């Protein structure tokens, strides 16, 4: 397939995603909107197969079959009341997928200049935060972990040290393209995701899920840059932007501020238990 | 290339803000779930990296995991959103 056709069909998929968001924001069109989004995703998958002609089809098809089966079962079986935590899990694995793709693209050694390596590091960082943070929000809503804000003595310092370590590892990856640095970065940012969500109270968790959803949008956009894939950039940015706005609207609807939700427990103020 | 991609990113960002700016409160959760499904499209990245390179067994296995994860995200995401919205419709009907 020629480059023009690929670009054109990617555009079709991107427009589908925009219509999906538009449809989902009005009650009468929401269900159709969701279907349009799914159609866009299908188009995108077919185009990438036709355009890139990937090898190892067996591996890929097995992975799709396993993922598709798990996704379908989970979506069908989940209790109506447990849907928010299901969304959190889906979101978490999406973030993890983005981080893994960036990490392995780096391991393949095909990456190039400073900007490219910096974005790769950023993708690993934000994808890992999304994954561990989402898994913890799942635990909180599923009541595997207490819904009350969790703080431990010296948590602030642990958090600061983790952030400092993350920055150092990030710079290491950006300058050297070192895979070991990226693995270290992934471990540190997995911890960071936990530290971000631990102090959040149960009632605020849905807003944090929405925030993490925006984060994985940003992960996907960044991985699109790493792989020079326009559709990933567009789809990821759409989700990142709309997800950020949605998070703010959800917080406003509950009369809460995002800063208070995330850091309120540190300040000794209340975060709704 | 960097600037071109940046331009796409900024414009897509504005579109993302604009299209959902009027969503009613009741649709917050389905919209979150729908956008969540859309970013599952990251699975394309897995196809590209596994299909066009990836030496070493560990790398391949991790990429298979990435593709499975992405597929869970996209398939599960759209299905669970549809179920949520179906529930809304039933509620409206019984309410009337």
With respect to residue B73, please indicate whether it lies within any of the assigned structural domains: yes
Quick: pLDDT tens for A175-224.
Answer: 988 899 999 999 999 999 999 999 998 889 999 999 999 999 999 999 99
The average pLDDT across B47-64 equals: 89
Say if CB A9 and CB A43 are below 8 A apart: yes
With respect to residue B3, please indicate whether it lies within any of the assigned structural domains: no
With respect to residue A167, please indicate whether it lies within any of the assigned structural domains: yes
Range of the domain at A208: 82-263
Say if CB B39 and CB A235 are below 8 A apart: yes
How far is it, in rounded angstroms, from Cα A159 to Cα A200?
15
d(CA B10, nearest CA chain A) in Å? 8
Which residue from A18, A101, A221 is facing B9, i.e. has the nearest CB?
A: A221
Contact flag B8-A234 (C-beta cutoff 8 Å): yes
A211 touches chain B (CB under 8 A): no
Please report the pLDDT score of residue A110 as a whole number.
62
The average pLDDT across A7-20 equals: 96
Please report the pLDDT score of residue A61 as a whole number.
94
Q: What is the mean pLDDT of chain A?
A: 92
How far is it, in rounded angstroms, from Cα A98 to Cα A224?
9
| pLDDT greater than 60 at residue B95 | no
In chain B, the number of structural domains is: 1
| pLDDT greater than 90 at residue A127 | yes
- Say what percent of chain A tops pLDDT 70: 97
Q: Is B91 exposed, middle or buried (0-12, 13-18, 19+ CB in 10 A)?
A: exposed
DSSP 8-state symbol, B76? I
Please report the pLDDT score of residue A113 as a whole number.
87
| pLDDT greater than 90 at residue A267 | no
A232 touches chain B (CB under 8 A): yes
Written as six digits, the tokens of A118 are 């910096």
Of A256, A226, A13, which Cα lies nearest the Cα of A126? A226
In chain A, the number of structural domains is: 1
Give the range among A240-244, A261-265, B74-78 with minimum mean pLDDT: A261-265
| pLDDT greater than 70 at residue B93 | no
Place of tokens 């997995």: A190
The average pLDDT across A31-48 equals: 96
With respect to residue A244, please indicate whether it lies within any of the assigned structural domains: yes
B41 touches chain A (CB under 8 A): yes
The average pLDDT across A11-31 equals: 95
Place of tokens 């995991």: B65
Give contacts of B12 with chain A, Cβ < 8 Å. Answer: 14, 221, 233-234, 237-238, 241
With respect to residue A230, please indicate whether it lies within any of the assigned structural domains: yes
| pLDDT greater than 80 at residue A65 | yes
A123 touches chain B (CB under 8 A): no
With respect to residue B14, please indicate whether it lies within any of the assigned structural domains: no
| pLDDT greater than 90 at residue B15 | yes
Which of A24, A58, A186 is best to mutate for the B interface (most B CBs within 10 A)? A24
With respect to residue A125, please indicate whether it lies within any of the assigned structural domains: yes
Please report the pLDDT score of residue A270 as a whole number.
45
With respect to residue B7, please indicate whether it lies within any of the assigned structural domains: no
With respect to residue A214, please indicate whether it lies within any of the assigned structural domains: yes
B88 touches chain A (CB under 8 A): yes
Give contacts of A235 with chain B, Cβ < 8 Å. Answer: 38-39, 41
| pLDDT greater than 90 at residue A80 | no
| pLDDT greater than 80 at residue A153 | yes
With respect to residue B55, please indicate whether it lies within any of the assigned structural domains: yes
pLDDT band, very low/low/confident/very high, at A1 (cuts 50, 70, 90) = confident
Contact flag A217-B39 (C-beta cutoff 8 Å): yes
| pLDDT greater than 80 at residue A265 | no
- Say what percent of chain A tops pLDDT 90: 77
The average pLDDT across A224-252 equals: 94
Range of the domain at B66: 25-95
Contact flag A220-B14 (C-beta cutoff 8 Å): no
| pLDDT greater than 70 at residue A268 | no
Say how many CA atoms lie within 13 Å of A186 toward its Cβ.
Answer: 22
| pLDDT greater than 50 at residue A272 | no
Count of other CB atoms within 10 angstroms of residue A267: 10
Say if CB A185 and CB A103 are below 8 A apart: no
How far is it, in rounded angstroms, from Cα A77 to Cα A75?
6
């Amino acid at each position: 397939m020629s480059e023009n056709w690929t670009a054109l069909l990617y555009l079709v998929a991107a427009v589908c995603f925009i219509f999906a968001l538009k449809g989902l924001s009005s009650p009468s069109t929401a269900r159709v909107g969701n279907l349009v989004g799914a159609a866009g995703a299908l188009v995108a998958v077919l185009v990438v197969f036709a355009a890139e002609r990937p090898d190892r089809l067996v591996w890929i098809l097995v992975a799709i079959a396993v993922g598709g089966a798990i996704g379908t079962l989970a979506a069908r079986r989940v209790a109506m009341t447990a849907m928010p935590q299901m969304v959190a899990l889906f979101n978490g694995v999406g973030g993890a997928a983005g981080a893994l793709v960036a990490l392995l693209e780096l391991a393949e050694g095909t990456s190039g200049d400073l900007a490219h390596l910096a974005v790769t590091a950023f993708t690993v960082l934000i994808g890992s935060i999304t994954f561990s943070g989402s898994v913890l929000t799942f635990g909180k809503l599923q009541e595997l972990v207490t819904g009350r804000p969790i703080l431990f003595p010296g948590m602030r310092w642990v958090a600061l040290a983790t952030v400092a370590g993350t920055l150092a590892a990030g710079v290491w990856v950006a300058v050297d393209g070192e895979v070991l640095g990226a693995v270290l970065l992934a471990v540190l940012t997995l911890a960071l995701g936990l530290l971000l969500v631990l102090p959040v109270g149960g009632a605020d968790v849905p807003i944090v899920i929405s925030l993490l959803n925006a984060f994985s949008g940003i992960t996907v956009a960044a991985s699109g840059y790493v792989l020079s894939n326009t559709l990933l950039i567009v789809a990821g940015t759409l989700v990142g932007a709309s997800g950020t706005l949605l998070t703010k609207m959800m917080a406003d609807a509950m009369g809460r501020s995002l800063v208070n939700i995330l850091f309120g427990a540190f300040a000794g103020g209340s975060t709704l238990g | 290339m960097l600037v071109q991609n940046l331009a796409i990113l900024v414009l897509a960002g504005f579109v993302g803000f604009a299209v959902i700016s009027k969503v009613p409160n009741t649709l917050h959760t389905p919209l979150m779930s729908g956008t969540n499904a859309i970013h599952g499209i990251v699975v394309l990245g897995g196809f590209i990296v596994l299909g066009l390179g990836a030496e070493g067994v560990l790398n391949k296995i991790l990429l298979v995991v990435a593709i499975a994860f992405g597929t869970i995200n996209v398939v599960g995401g759209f299905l669970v959103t549809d179920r949520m919205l179906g529930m809304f419709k039933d509620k409206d009907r019984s309410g009337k």
